[in-house]
Amino acid sequence: MARLNIRWLLRSAFFGIATVVGSEAMFASLAEASSEVPPDVGPGATAPVRPFRLDQVRLGGGLMQEKRDRMKAYLRQYDQRRFLVLFNNQAGRPNPEGVAVPGGWEDGGLLSGHWTGHFMTALSQAYADQGEEIFKTKLDWMVNELATCQDAITARFEGKGQGSGAASWIPTYPGYLGALPEDTVLRLGPPRFAVYGSDLNKNTWAPWYTQHKILRGLLDAYYNTNNTQALEVVTKMADWAHLALTVGDKNHPNYRGNITRDDLNYMWDVYIAGEFGGANEVFPEIYELTGDAKHLETAKCFDNRESLFGAAVEDKDILVVLPQNIPGRRRRERLHANTHVPQFLGYMRVYEQSGERDYLDAARNFYHWVFPHREFATGGTGGNYPGHEDNNELFQNRDDIAYALNKSGGAETCTTYNMLKLARNLFMHEHNATYMDSYERGLFNMITGSRADTNSVDGPQVTYFQPLGPGAARDYDNIGTCCGGTGMESHTKYQETVYLRSADGSTLWINLYVPATLDWEEKGFTVKQETTFPREGSSKFTITGDGPLDVKLRVPAWVRKGFRVAVNGETQGQQEPQPGTYLTLSRLWKTGDVIEVKMPLSIRVERARDRPDTQVIMWGPVVLQTVGQPTGADGFWDLSLYRYLKRDGDYAQGAIKRTGSTVGGDPLFTAAGSDVAVRPYYVSDLQPVSSYFRRVEPAVVFGSIDTGVANRKRNDRLPEYDVPVTGIESPGSDGPTFLDVLWDQAPFVTHADFVKAVTSTADSFVAAGVYTTDERDVIVVKASEAEKELNPGCTPRERRM
């Protein structure tokens, strides 16, 4: 522990000098103040861009606070003693009468214990948010009880205590803590190599996944609430883990020596049993906290060296690849999405604490296999596709979006929870705005959309899958599941990515438009953000504090027109900033300064990468879903929208019209021509909803003028899958239609511009053999006649604030 304090002091000293410019008194008090706060050596601890502590950012009212408060109500009323029942059983401690196990996968079966970790993380985050004592009281109690369980189990190892019944087993190493016997972990390795199943004496179920959740929960208790007992418990667990993964199952009669790299590779490639979550993320942190190098070694034990790790370093996408077992003796042809995403969070942490670049490269490459190649518009990933209809939790084929939509599953919520962590962590190293665009999308759809809009405290009321098949309804509950556990976490940490800072304290990154107040104590700045985004497209920041600071404001990639920033009423910059970048405001700030951001939430459509007629309607980063059971030909809503567009190409003007708002202020729309109700994805009830619809545009039309020419498709050889999809020709002959390609070029400032675009697009379709020259001529003539028809009423001019 001595080492811990020295390291932290050095870090805060560096920070203090860099930012407070030599004010000795202030530096001294800074160092003193900082030394009391636990160092957060989690994501980004050594990165050029770093997070704030959760308690430095306070969420304001709005969508996220509503979702968060519902989850807090659940955490508040839940009897935390239920989490100790199974631990006490293994420790040989009595349980109070009438206290039941949590249930679900927390029922004494082979995954038991993981929710104890999630619950601790969630309590620690809930406490950090507003400092409500009840969460800390519950958490402190749990940590203390777990410490007692750990001691009781270790006492049996030392021959001091002897258990009976469920607690009669003797541990192989000291420090083990779990809701199940230590053997359920050790048997995954040699000589037994246990596989998934339900036999408590023989099988195993992701034992390191469960260990990870408990370790994580304890570390979070330390970081977020300064529970130093949690740090002691977690360090002992890590000491145990090192022996369990190096020396291994040494009391087994067939023991044959230390676990080898080959053994480890074999363990991690086995389906379900070998799932270890992000176990490798905690050990580099414990290494940094304790200075003990063996913990970094433990983290590297999890390298999936025979298959996924090496492939990711080489950027060889093997998420779905035939034949199975090459590479990887036990790898299946389709990898399980949520098994693998968190492994890369661990590789990130190894990189952060060791500086070995392979780990960063692997994480970045893997991330890009999923985004954009397998991400639905909601930020979800994974699902079935024709010919592979056995498990909606697995990755779909590369670039398969439209054929992976399934009504009974896909887009498992916890996978998005992990993808967001990965995007956030990569951003801290590479600052590419694309990471934040994908983060925002996952957050404002999959995460906010995962919590039911009810005040029920009967379970966490979160989703497991968020099916994307047309007319699917969401289902909420999930006591004891992976998604239930990560759900409790997601809804109690909404403030974590709103602001980030450069390591030297010279730059503040504003990543998300979320009402939240940053108290940047070390710099003497407070930044208060007020916004109702995404209900409306504007935000206001009020600064308290004086001094130089670069403020980087995110310009979302979805911005179409009208994004303006003003400081104290003065518009910044001559031109509208580039979407998908950050705009920098460098100045000497003073108390009372106000930054205002306007970012009109345009409506757009996005096409599935493999099937252009399969589309979603977007409102800023938010998917707009159609409500009700679809009535179209193959189970989708069929929508025809081009006839409602004017020259500005703005869907909001006629195609998708705003009809009002809900009581909570959520916008409601209807799709023209069909009267289908359309609303934001995050509205979470039980109605059947569709994210994707089919675009049916049979004829080339300009407003009400029908050219009589068919709106044919260009052959872009879609879909193009590397692994076959049953019944789908690949490469195929699908592609965007004439009108798709034309309207992608909107807005058109003048009618002449429009006719020019029609002409060049028609020419290119003639060159591609899609249209005859006669057809082109008809299209161009009709386009020229459509001036009045397409007049938006006012010319789209840049609007000033």
The span of 266-274, 386-394, 607-615, 687-695 binding ligand NAG (CB under 6 A) equals 386-394
Is residue 258 near ligand NAG by the rule CB under 6 A? yes
Phi, psi of 227 (to 5 degrees): -85, 100
- Is the Cα dihedral 696, 699, 700, 702 positive or negative? negative
Whole-angstrom Cα distance, residue 346 to residue 359? 9
Question: Which of Zn ion, ligand NAG, none does residue 687 bind to, with CB < 5 to 8 Å depending on kind?
Answer: none
**In the complex, least distance from residue 369 CB atom to ligand NAG, rounded to whole angstroms:** 12
**In the complex, least distance from residue 523 CB atom to ligand NAG, rounded to whole angstroms:** 19
Q: What share of the chain is helix, strand, coil (3-state, %, to 5)?
A: 40, 15, 45
**In the complex, least distance from residue 509 CB atom to ligand NAG, rounded to whole angstroms:** 15
Instruction: Decide if 319 contacts 398 (C-beta within 8 A).
Output: yes
The span of 382-390, 504-512, 571-579, 755-763 binding ligand NAG (CB under 6 A) equals 382-390
Peptide bond preceding 460 in cis form (omega within 30 of 0): no
**In the complex, least distance from residue 388 CB atom to ligand NAG, rounded to whole angstroms:** 9
Question: Which of Zn ion, ligand NAG, none does residue 434 bind to, with CB < 5 to 8 Å depending on kind?
Answer: ligand NAG
The amino acid occupying position 496 is E
Question: Which of Zn ion, ligand NAG, none does residue 408 bind to, with CB < 5 to 8 Å depending on kind?
Answer: ligand NAG
Question: Which of ligand NAG, Zn ion, none does residue 412 bind to, with CB < 5 to 8 Å depending on kind?
Answer: Zn ion
H or E stretch at 31: helix 24-36
Is residue 645 near Zn ion by the rule CB under 5 A? no
Of 133 and 390, nearer to ligand NAG (C-beta) is 390
Of 481 and 707, nearer to Zn ion (C-beta) is 481
H or E stretch at 381: none
Of 502 and 764, nearer to ligand NAG (C-beta) is 502
The span of 227-235, 262-270, 483-491, 583-591 binding Zn ion (CB under 5 A) equals 483-491
Instruction: Decide if 70 contacts 491 (C-beta within 8 A).
Output: yes
Is residue 483 near Zn ion by the rule CB under 5 A? yes
Instruction: Decide if 334 contacts 394 (C-beta within 8 A).
Output: yes
Of 85 and 482, nearer to Zn ion (C-beta) is 482
Structure-token pair, residue 243: 């022996």
Instruction: Decide if 422 contacts 367 (C-beta within 8 A).
Output: yes
Q: What is the DSSP letter of 545?
A: S
Instruction: Decide if 218 contacts 229 (C-beta within 8 A).
Output: no
Cα 728 from chain centroid? 31
Whole-angstrom Cα distance, residue 551 to residue 565? 12
Whole-angstrom Cα distance, residue 97 to residue 652? 60
Number of residues that bind ligand NAG (CB under 6 A): 18
Query: Kind of pairing, strands 705-710 and 699-702?
Result: antiparallel
Phi, psi of 584 (to 5 degrees): -100, 130
**In the complex, least distance from residue 364 CB atom to ligand NAG, rounded to whole angstroms:** 9
**In the complex, least distance from residue 504 CB atom to ligand NAG, rounded to whole angstroms:** 21
The span of 345-353, 384-392, 758-766, 789-797 binding ligand NAG (CB under 6 A) equals 384-392
The torsion of the CA quartet 671, 677, 681, 687, rounded to 10 degrees, works out to: -150
Whole-angstrom Cα distance, residue 71 to residue 129? 13
Is residue 384 near ligand NAG by the rule CB under 6 A? yes
Of 118 and 336, nearer to ligand NAG (C-beta) is 336
Sites for ligand NAG among residues 11-50 (CB under 6 A): 36-37
Is residue 434 near ligand NAG by the rule CB under 6 A? yes
Sites for ligand NAG among residues 53-72 (CB under 6 A): none
Question: Which of Zn ion, ligand NAG, none does residue 483 bind to, with CB < 5 to 8 Å depending on kind?
Answer: Zn ion
Instruction: Decide if 403 contacts 386 (C-beta within 8 A).
Output: yes
The site map against Zn ion for 411-430 (x = CB under 5 A) is -x-x----------------
Kindly list the residues in this chain that would bind Zn ion in the complex (CB under 5 A).
412, 414, 482-483
Kindly list the residues in this chain that would bind ligand NAG in the complex (CB under 6 A).
36-37, 226, 228, 246-247, 258, 368, 384, 386, 389-390, 392, 406, 408-409, 432, 434
